[in-house]
Amino acid sequence: MDNTGTLSQQLVTIPLENYVALSLILFSIGIIGILMRRNLIVVFLSIELMLNAINLLAAAFSSYNNDPSGQAFVFFIMVVAAAEVAIGLAMLVMIYRNTKTLDINALNKLKW
Amino acid sequence: MTQIFFYFLSGIAIASSLLMLFQRNAMYSVLLLLVCFFAVAGLYVMLNAQFLAIVHIIVYAGAIMVLFLYVLMFLNLNTSTSFSKSNLLRLAAIFTGGMLFLVLFSSFYQTQLQYIPDSLHAETGSVQTLGKVLFTEFLIPFELTSILFLSAMVGVVIINKKEQSNG
């Protein structure tokens, strides 16, 4: 316990701004990935990356404000992300079975 | 020391997620995102959020990424993909993402973030504290997640069921 006390004493030297900046960067990379790639799997991975950026932001604010509800919220976001990935990958397999490709341009029937 | 550790972990996270975007092979993208997730788990440890770090590794590395790899191998997609957007569209995507980053970053730059200076000493992120919070304050949402998972499971089975020929 004494060891963690000194460790967390050092942790205060990192300002909260660094964590916020890092999550902003990761979120923007996720947005770029969604816009840039045509592979459905990579688009899904970018969504996961964005969820992670938000999780990191919530956890950082929660730790720096000494409020455990933020981390409980991160836990629920992880639960929803797991369910979302299960459904999304099932849909991806179905799309692959019907179109024989994972190109998102094969799914342009709803486009005007 | 902790400064160096923070920059090391965030550098790994940013570099691996950037490399993830520019991989031709989807398999390498999944593995690079796995590296990024481990770096984020290290950042959770640095935030003194041990419970989240463990759950993050179990859920993301243990469940989600394995599911991705399983689907990739199941569909036999571990070859390089030939389709990609044109260079103009790629540039437009990077420009749009950069603009979003600019907006977010400038609003963040003008904000005064407030926090309790000694809060990282506290046991906010320990398993004990979060267990108490999850089973008292968030008990009903916590129990509802089981229904969410059940419906997700049923949904997956129904989505992937083969169509009956008599229908």
Whole-complex ipTM: 0.88
Residue B153 to residues A96, B131, B142: CA-CA distances in angstroms? 20, 26, 17
Which of B124, B128, B8, B45 is CA-nearest to residue A10? B45
Instruction: Report how many Cβ contacts below 8 Å link chain A to chain B.
Output: 237
Predicted TM-score (pTM) of this structure: 0.88
> Do the Cβ atoms of A38 and B155 come within 8 Å?
no
3-state class (DSSP) for residue B80: strand
User: How confident is the model over A7-64, as pLDDT tens digits?
Assistant: 555 556 788 889 999 999 999 999 999 998 888 889 999 999 999 999 999 999 998 8
Question: Measured between alpha carbons, how far is B24 from B82 in angstroms, rounded to an integer?
Answer: 8
> How crowded is the C-beta side of B121, counted as CA atoms within 13 Å?
7
Tell me which residue in B83, B134, B153 faces A75 most closely, judged by beta carbons.
Answer: B134
In contact, B5 and B14? CB cutoff 8 Å: no
Q: Within an 8 Å CB–CB cutoff, is residue A88 touching chain B? A: no
As given in the structure block, the two tokens for residue A42 are 């990579």
Measured in degrees and rounded to the nearest 5, phi and psi for residue B80 equal -65, 135
What pLDDT score does B38 carry?
A: 94
Report chain B residues whose CB lies below 8 A from the CB of A46: 21
What is the average pLDDT across B33-48?
A: 93
Which of B33, B30, B48, B36 is CA-nearest to residue B9? B36
Which of B33, B74, B84, B136 is the best residue to mutate to test the A interface, defined by the most A CB atoms within 10 Å of its own CB? B33
Question: Measured between alpha carbons, how far is B146 from B151 in angstroms, rounded to an integer?
Answer: 9
In contact, A67 and B116? CB cutoff 8 Å: no
User: How confident is the model over B102-150, as pLDDT tens digits?
Assistant: 999 999 989 888 877 776 667 788 888 899 999 999 999 999 999 999 9
Distance of CA A16 to the CA centre of its chain: 19
Q: Which residues contact B145 (CB under 8 A, 6 or more apart)?
A: A76, A79
Question: Measured between alpha carbons, how far is A105 from A17 in angstroms, rounded to an integer?
Answer: 39
What pLDDT score does B78 carry?
A: 63
Q: To the nearest whole angstrom, how far is the Cα of B165 from the nearest Cα of chain A? A: 16
B42 pLDDT above the threshold of 90? yes
Which of A107, A87, A99 is CA-nearest to residue B156? A87
Question: Measured between alpha carbons, how far is A17 from B83 in angstroms, rounded to an integer?
Answer: 39
Measured in degrees and rounded to the nearest 5, phi and psi for residue B25 equal -90, 125
> Do the Cβ atoms of B152 and A87 come within 8 Å?
yes
Question: Measured between alpha carbons, how far is B51 from B59 in angstroms, rounded to an integer?
Answer: 12
